[in-house]
Structure 1
């Protein structure tokens, strides 16, 4: 049995609960007249300060502007989050803005997402040179990578107590209450980051905004989405975020479903015997640390009790089956054939195809595409 064939994987796309059309298209034109010129100059200077000329080992032909830097999320605690931003390859002013979050908890969105999965520059084995990514997601969107919570990657805090609150031990499943507090606090910081980032980059304020992520981001992404939807109801319309939806790959959503799904997956692929399968089903309900197979996500989605709009069916990439999908009310569940836990690393073509269709709200090809 080859693992690559067996390890089908989940990409879970959900359209936001709220998609208001009366959003902040006007926000970029909103300015106090007497500050007009100073404001523009200040914004321009701040962006210039974050502009990255080039990275060591960067190949020719990147062809897009990139920015990186810190955004303070808590002055009192001295807490700041680090971001890396790539403009889209074309139509920068029209393309959506997508925030990418890796999981972990503790995984860097730069080290994984940007440099190994979906960014325009990828690291190479055994050489300090970067290479261009032919399947980069910034062909479809302006891409914002965020390292969060504080303590991950370059993001930091000057208050030691913060690190205890954001520590990895909080991800242990038996501390569910603390996990909730940790995820909510992360969402609060990520939301503050966005508000402050939009002040630095006001030209993107009116763009359609999406959040995408992977693995433990199954906790981060929906929490941040909920925070944005709640805050949009409370804040002045000039501060609203034009939030359109989210997309999670291999989402760690619900621990019980993940564990049950891993067991089904191992048994389906003859990794464990019938006896062991029955035994574990009868006697165990433990905290296991593992990846999130398709079966796990299906268990988790069943708990949502959503109406099925379109049944389980194949979708195509070229003349081959790319995976399977099912449409629920407000949410689409898509598998990617032959992918692993990091979908864009293993099956980059299918992942970028899926991303493009998601942003365009277009159906994935239901028939083989003949070259």
Structure 2
């Protein structure tokens, strides 16, 4: 409803209008909310909400796809693509690999996987952070002082800690200081499009987050979706 779906939400927060640029105009699209408990997805077994992780999400997504194809067999021979953004940098490649490995079992439904696509993929926390601050500096959004401080005190090697190890707690403090300084220097801009007009919440247009939240919080909608 916010970006890719067939409908957008009007200002009244109750009615919809068609999205002119919806993906379902060129493809059959399944929007899968995973892992269980995310969005409107749910499980009848409450333990599923604690047994989480990338591997579990991969297997659950695969089981869903197999069951979906069994229920709608007319789509079995269709080309299949997996797409996602952000943390899908984990989910999409792992699901694709799992599908390919399971497809080798000729006694079960084969998913006709043809490709994957990931936007702004979050694959490794440390590497992504390093790339982001390099980008900010090379595009004049961070000062030389900040860039030098980040390179001096942060190593971006481990996802557990981006501070340089072996030199005591001071490096951790200094690394955090320069990272915070880098974000402040960036200012209120769209990090995904630094040349776009400055973000202004009061200028949000119909169909964006505010109106979507209104309609999704409507109790009547929950009844319709049997949530």
TM superposition score normalised by structure 1: 0.41
Q: Give unmatched runs, 5+ long, in structure 2.
A: 161-191, 198-204, 206-227
Aligned to 1:255: 125
User: What secondary structure is seen at the aligned counterpart in 1 of 2:51?
Assistant: helix
User: What secondary structure is seen at the aligned counterpart in 2 of 1:118?
Assistant: coil
Shift of 1:339: 7.3
Q: For 1:262-312, what per-residue CA distance to the aligned partner results, in whole angstroms no more than 9, with x for missing partners?
A: 111221233321111111112114669xxxxxxxxxxxxxxxxxxxxxxxx
1 CA distance for matches of 2:31 and 2:19? Answer: 16
1 CA distance for matches of 2:153 and 2:6? Answer: 48
CA separation of 1:122 and 1:339: change in aligned 2, threshold 3 A: farther
Q: How does 1:337-348 map to 2 (within 5 A)?
A: none
Aligned to 1:191: 62
140-149 or 262-271, which moves further after superposition? 262-271
Coordinate RMSD, CA, aligned? 2.6
Q: Which has the higher contact order (CA 8 A, sep 6+)?
A: 1
Aligned to 2:188: none
1:141 counterpart = 2:27: yes
Aligned to 1:130: 16
1:211 counterpart = 2:82: yes
1 CA distance for matches of 2:122 and 2:27? Answer: 25
Q: For 1:91-145, what per-residue CA distance to the aligned partner results, in whole angstroms no more than 9, with x for missing partners?
A: xxxxxxxxxxxxxxxxxxxxxxxx1111111223443221111111112111111
Flag the structure with higher strand content.
Answer: 1
Shift of 1:153: 1.5
1 CA distance for matches of 2:117 and 2:16? Answer: 27
2 CA distance for matches of 1:205 and 1:157? Answer: 26
Q: How does 1:227-246 map to 2 (within 5 A)?
A: 227-236=98-107, 239-246=109-116
User: What secondary structure is seen at the aligned counterpart in 2 of 1:156?
Assistant: coil
User: How many residue pairs are counted as aligned between the two chains?
Assistant: 165
Aligned to 2:141: 271
Shift of 1:338: 5.6
Aligned to 1:284: 154
123-132 or 148-157, which moves further after superposition? 123-132
Shift of 1:248: 0.7
Aligned to 2:7: 121
User: What secondary structure is seen at the aligned counterpart in 1 of 2:117?
Assistant: strand
2 CA distance for matches of 1:280 and 1:337? Answer: 21
CA separation of 1:156 and 1:132: change in aligned 2, threshold 3 A: same
2 CA distance for matches of 1:262 and 1:203? Answer: 44
2 CA distance for matches of 1:225 and 1:123? Answer: 33
Flag the structure with higher helix content.
Answer: 2
TM superposition score normalised by structure 2: 0.66
| Counterpart pick for 2:49 among 163, 166, 186 | 163
